[in-house]
Amino acid sequence: MKRSELEHIIRASGAIADDDEIVIIGSQAILGQFPDAPMQLLVSMEADIYPKSDPGKADLVDGAIGEGSSFHELHGYYAQGVGEKTATLPNDWQSRLIAVNNENTNGVTGLCLEVHDLAISKMIAMRPKDLEFVQELVRHGMIEKKTMLHRLKQTDIEDSTRRTAKGRITALFES
């Protein structure tokens, strides 16, 4: 996905949900902070989103421009309507959201996760694609170990999950 495609999804999602703020929590949130992110981070053709003022309208967005929709077939990318709790994030993550608002978003603001918050969510989900994504962030120098460990401490998770994630983070920066 390219930044212009994310902007299109923001614009369309805002119109469908009648909301002027759309939260982007999946991997393509990287395009908020890094509009020209390395190609290895842009392989997903979906943006995980929810309307900020009424997250329940994510289903409307998913139905209109989600996977398998005519929007998806026409453009080759789509929005995945998700819930607010889909990603496990550090406390105060909302204060660090990166705004995307320009002529391409038609007055709708996309609120993208900050890169360390995004990486924490990936380290906790820990699917193979999440590990690869965070490995690329490390390889390109886009995240810092100290910030990752600090944000992990700020995340409400079980101690066993925290220990596992801390080990994974440490290992990523040592390899």
3 state SS of 111: strand
Query: What is the side-by-side order of every strand in the sheet holding 21-24?
Result: 78-81, 46-51, 21-24, 109-112, 98-100
Cα separation, 48 vs 78, in Å, equals 9
pLDDT tens-digit series, residues 153-173: 999 999 999 999 999 999 999
Average model confidence (pLDDT) across the chain? 96
43 close to 132: Cβ distance less than 8 angstroms: no
pLDDT tens-digit series, residues 105-146: 999 999 999 999 999 999 999 899 999 999 999 999 999 999
Nearest to 10 by CA among 20, 63, 71, 66: 20
List alpha helices for the chain, DSSP H.
3-17, 30-33, 58-65, 70-75, 115-125, 128-139, 145-153, 159-174
Give the N- to C-terminal CA distance of the chain in Å, as an integer.
28
Q: Residue 175: its pLDDT value, please?
A: 74
Amino acid at 86: T
Cα separation, 135 vs 145, in Å, equals 12
Q: How confident is the model at residue 152 (pLDDT cuts 50, 70, 90)?
A: very high
Q: 119: which residues sit within 8 A by CB, 6+ positions away?
A: 133, 134, 137, 143, 148
pTM comes to 0.95
